[in-house]
């Protein structure tokens, strides 16, 4: 037990104090929490008001318990989803594992200490989801005083069971699947598993909305929170948590806690048996050790333009690092893909829709303005989602000094990094605009307008991301995941992206619908791109020499 507590302490320190050891905090860092709160405020507020509306609908039919059930289930599924990625890197592939394996520690001590850190991580997810929903629930339903201690117990223990599920699943895979010990292979596997899960949930949600409508109505009619019984399939203790909170039941609270304790004991016992079998012999990647000869050698040593070579290097690293592939490349391509797929799935009978599409007056100047705005907004949003340029320097980590001693100007290096971002943005734009244009029978000239606008705004957003990362790179990290997933630079591009997208539609609503307006908007977009390129050059020249200094 002493070892366990010591290890938890070290892990917590190591995980939550990842600074570069500098004493001085920049102004940006000091105001970061405030900025993040402001950035998240719209989402938090909309969740709050949405919950209030939902409770307003559910109160007359005595189904307010659904809100609690949805919240607990939503948090549990999210925790499980994130844990699929988090558990392998924390339990098996983190840098400290080799050191820990050599220490005289029981397997359960290592796993349980890492589990505690992971649970604490998950509290952040929980906090974001739970706070606005619970605030709305408390304001609207006004539960009795006994609700609050039960709520505390429920929330503290909520991430435990889904995390145990994910941990057991990963431990079994690491033990039993022969290829799993190759880190790259495992990351690709979990990436596609999570994507499959996301698509599956999307599909199930779509089908549930249509297939089980009768069942839902029946449950609603029965009243007294009977609908909450639908949500107990996935995590067994959730139903008791819901009952405990809705009916203020001590017995259900105790059963809920009991299940958590039982699951934890079973998990620790299993970890004791299987953890070492999975953790020993983990490797990073595979190798052939095959000599390059003849044409293959010549092909590998072809010379190229410096900026293109640098761009290619960036793209290779993005595609070959599973975490980057998932967060920077696939997100940009798959999000439009999923949007189109779920949109077309929900359409069902298209004959009516075809009539609507056929009746759209494409020739009107107002519509072309909105197409332009739509294209521009898509360029901003899709680029802000791919996270490539806001993490371009952060991803270099402690190797960022390489950028400082090679004979290549900082601006040239930044341009290469922006080019890699542009390549992925373009892929996302093409994957979305072309199918949508084909589907809604958008005339060629309007397709070109939408495409050109999205390319221009994507250039803007890529350079903006680059500036943010030059000014605020996250260079101290242990796992590649931290460089992209725990990097707040993304917020600095996502917030302006959302603001600009709303702004352009607002602006168009106020402007006259004449041809010169489109031209003016294009000129503004081009001008802002040039401005950002210029700013990137200035910022790079000023800030890069000071980086790592």
Site residues (vs another protein, CB under 8 A): 22-24, 284-292, 296-298, 300-306, 309-310, 313, 316-317, 320-321, 398-399, 401-402, 404-409, 545-546, 548-549
CA 372 – CA 522 distance, rounded (Å) = 9
Considering the complex, state which of residue 420 and residue 457 has its C-beta at the smaller distance from another protein. 420
Please identify, using beta-carbon distances, which residue of 113 and 536 lies nearer to another protein: 536
Tell me which DSSP letter residue 294 carries: H
Separation CA 173–CA 186 (nearest Å): 9
CA 162/CA 122 separation, integer angstroms? 10
Q: Are 489 and 467 in contact (CB under 8 A)?
A: no
Nearer to another protein, 137 or 310 (CB): 310
Query: 2 or 299: whose CB is closer to another protein?
Result: 299
The least CB distance from residue 469 to another protein, in Å, is 18
DSSP codes joined into one string, 187-255 = HHHHHHHHHHHHHHHHHHHHHHHHHTHHHHHHHHHH-TTGGGGGGGSSSTTHHHHHHHHHHT-HHHHHH
Q: Pick between residue 277 and residue 404 the one whose CB is nearest to another protein.
A: 404
What does the buried/exposed string (b/e) look like for 233-261 if buried means 16 or more CB atoms within 10 Å of the residue's CB?
Answer: eebebbbbbbbbbbeebeebbebbbebbe
Q: Quick one: 247 or 537, whose CB is closer to another protein?
A: 537
Nearer to another protein, 507 or 548 (CB): 548
* Least spacing, CB of residue 32 vs another protein, in Å: 21
Nearby residues of 179 by Cβ (< 8 Å), 6 or more positions away: 185, 186, 189
Minimum distance of another protein from residue 225's CB (angstroms): 52
C-beta separation of 442 from 364 below 8 A: no
In the complex, the smallest distance separating the C-beta of residue 543 from another protein, rounded to whole angstroms, is 12
Taking the complex as a whole, how short is the minimal distance between the CB of residue 476 and another protein, in angstroms? 14
- The distance of closest approach from Cβ of residue 545 to another protein in the complex, given in angstroms and rounded to an integer, is 6
Bridge partners for 283 per DSSP: 182
Q: How far is the CB of 283 from another protein (least distance, A)?
A: 8
Q: Which two tokens stand for residue 165?
A: 């599920």
Which one, 1 or 302, has the nearer CB to another protein? 302
Residue 387: count other Cβ atoms within 10 Å of its Cβ.
29
Q: Which value, in Å, is the radius of gyration of the alpha carbons in the chain?
A: 26
Q: How far is CA 194 from the centre of its chain?
A: 12
| End-to-end Cα separation, the chain, in angstroms | 42
Burial of 458 (0-12, 13-18, 19+ CB in 10 A): buried
Nearest approach in angstroms of CB 188 to another protein is 13
Of residues 258 and 304, the one with the C-beta less far from another protein: 304
Give 480 or 529: the residue with its C-beta nearer to another protein: 480
**From the CB of 399, what's the least distance to another protein, in Å?**
5
Q: Rounded to the nearest whole angstrom, what is the least distance from the CB of residue 544 to another protein in the complex? A: 10
């Amino acid at each position: 037990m002493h070892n366990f507590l010591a290890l938890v302490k070290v892990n917590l320190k190591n995980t939550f104090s990842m600074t570069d050891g500098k004493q001085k905090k920049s102004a940006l860092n000091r105001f970061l929490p405030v900025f993040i709160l402001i950035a998240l405020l719209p989402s938090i507020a909309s969740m709050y008001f949405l919950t209030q509306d939902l409770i307003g609908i559910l109160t007359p039919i005595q189904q307010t318990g659904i809100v609690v059930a949805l919240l607990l289930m939503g948090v549990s599924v999210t925790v499980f989803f994130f844990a699929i990625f988090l558990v392998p890197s924390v339990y098996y592939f983190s840098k400290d594992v080799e050191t820990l394996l050599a220490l005289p520690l029981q397997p359960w001590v290592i796993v349980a200490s890492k589990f505690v850190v992971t649970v604490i991580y998950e509290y952040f997810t929980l906090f974001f989801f739970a706070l606005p929903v619970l605030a709305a629930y408390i304001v609207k339903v006004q539960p009795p005083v006994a609700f609050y201690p039960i709520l505390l117990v429920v929330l503290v223990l909520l991430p435990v069971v889904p995390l145990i599920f994910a941990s057991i699943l990963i431990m079994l895979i690491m033990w039993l699947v022969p290829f799993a010990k190759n880190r790259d292979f495992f990351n690709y596997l979990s990436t596609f598993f999570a994507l499959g899960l996301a698509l599956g949930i999307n599909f199930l949600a779509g089908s549930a909305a249509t297939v089980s409508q009768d069942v839902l109505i029946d449950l609603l009619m029965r009243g007294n929170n009977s609908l909450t019984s639908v949500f107990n399939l996935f995590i067994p203790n959730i139903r008791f948590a819901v009952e405990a909170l809705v009916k203020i039941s001590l017995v259900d609270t105790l059963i809920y806690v009991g299940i958590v304790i039982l699951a934890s004991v079973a998990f620790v016992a299993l970890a004791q048996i299987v953890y070492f079998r999975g953790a020993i012999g983990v490797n990073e990647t595979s190798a052939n050790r095959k000599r390059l000869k003849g044409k293959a050698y010549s092909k590998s040593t072809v010379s190229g333009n410096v900026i293109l070579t640098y761009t290619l290097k960036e793209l290779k690293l993005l595609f070959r690092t599973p975490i980057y592939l998932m967060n920077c490349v696939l997100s940009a391509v798959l999000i439009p893909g999923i949007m189109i797929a779920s949109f077309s799935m929900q359409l069902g009978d298209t004959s009516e829709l075809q009539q609507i599409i056929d009746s759209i007056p494409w020739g009107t100047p107002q519509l072309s303005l909105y197409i332009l705005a739509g294209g521009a907004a898509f360029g901003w949003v899709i680029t802000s989602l791919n996270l490539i340029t806001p993490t371009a320097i952060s991803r270099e980590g402690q190797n960022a000094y390489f950028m400082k001693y090679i004979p290549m100007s900082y601006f040239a290096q930044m341009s290469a990094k922006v080019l890699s971002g542009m390549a992925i943005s373009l892929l996302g734009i093409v994957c979305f605009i072309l199918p949508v244009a084909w589907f809604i029978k958008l005339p060629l000239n309007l397709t070109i307008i939408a495409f050109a606008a999205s390319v221009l705004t994507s250039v803007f957003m890529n350079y903006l991301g680059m500036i943010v990362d030059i000014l605020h790179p996250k260079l101290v990290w242990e796992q590649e995941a931290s460089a992209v997933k725990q990097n707040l630079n993304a917020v600095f591009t996502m917030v302006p992206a959302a603001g600009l997208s709303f702004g352009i539609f607002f602006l168009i609503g106020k402007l006259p619908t004449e041809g010169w307006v489109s031209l003016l908007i294009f000129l503004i977009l081009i001008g802002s791109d040039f401005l950002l390129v210029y700013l990137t050059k200035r910022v790079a020249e000023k800030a890069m020499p000071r980086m790592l200094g």
